[in-house]
Amino acid sequence: MYKICVIEGDGIGKEVIPAAITVLKATGLEFDFNYAEAGDEVFEKTGVALPEKTIEAAKNADAVLFGAAGETAADVIVKLRKILDTYANVRPVKSYNGINCLKTGIDYVIVRENTEGLYAGIEAEIADGITTATRVITRSASEKIFKFAFEMAKNRKEEGKSGKVTCAHKANVLKITDGLFKRTFYDVSKGYNLPAEDFYVDAMNMYIISRPETFDVVVTSNLFGDILSDGAAGMVGGLGMAPSGNVGDKYGLFEPIHGSAPDIAGKQIANPTATILAAVMMLRFLNENKIAEMVEKALEEVLELKLTTPDLGGTLSTSQMAEEVSKRLKN
């Protein structure tokens, strides 16, 4: 039995997480779902956005399934990633049949360093009207994320992918921080018999639109990865199609990347695809690869048949779409 810490959070998190739970229950695997609180509503009630009880529940679980955080995101999901030392943020970019993608045949992964960069949060107001932010890049954190990316590429090559690793940086301007980042990338690459390349992040932003089919594993720093992955999601149907996993040496935290979407919260029209795919990532993290593949195939069939929420051209509610996936798993 797998012990899963479930944090619905805010907004549509309260709708897409139950949808994913419905699908997980249909797999036949045994789960112990431990529900914990975090987010805006908890902050309003208690003055704490991420209670200690929730942190302990996450630490004691085999994996964490997270919905969405609103205005307290920095104090919830960003903080939780650091506490669990999930140094790799993994964001698959894949086009599915039945979805209005800008290109077909897209199937690559963005691996984002999750602990430092500008998101280290070291900011200051040094004078009236003058503020600074310190960008932190270390060799140790860079080595960890590059080894993670190359190991992933090695596994993907065994599955028939190219195994190429692409590093996105801005070393021509950020000569010290990204200079170290780029050098470390090529130092780590020497330990792997895999193709390696690098691009400036602004050029990379164009390439993920003009030739996304040429990538397999893209690795980059925290802020760059955040920006690139949201843009990449637009190529394959939008944020509702974009899952993510935060992975470390011990913990795994899985979530959709779309946020709390307060404008549609409570209407049961939120697209649960990203959350179901996040659950697929969680299953793979738990080494339930065959079950993960079954769930993804069931979801693919539902997407192709347009048995979806309105944003994807269907007429179903969030929970009804999850039931369609579940039916196929039970059958």
Q: Which residues are catalytic?
A: 119, 170, 202, 226, 230
d(CA 46, CA 31): 29
Taking only Cα atoms into account, the Rg of the chain, rounded to an integer number of angstroms, comes to 19
Instruction: Please name every residue paired with 32 in a beta bridge, in sequence order, or none if there are none.
Output: 3
Angle at the Cα of 86 (from 80 to 91), degrees rounded to 5?
105
Instruction: State how beta strands 88-94 and 107-113 pair.
Output: antiparallel
The token duo for 308 is: 């979806």
Query: Which backbone phi and psi does 279 adopt, to 5 degrees?
Result: -65, -35
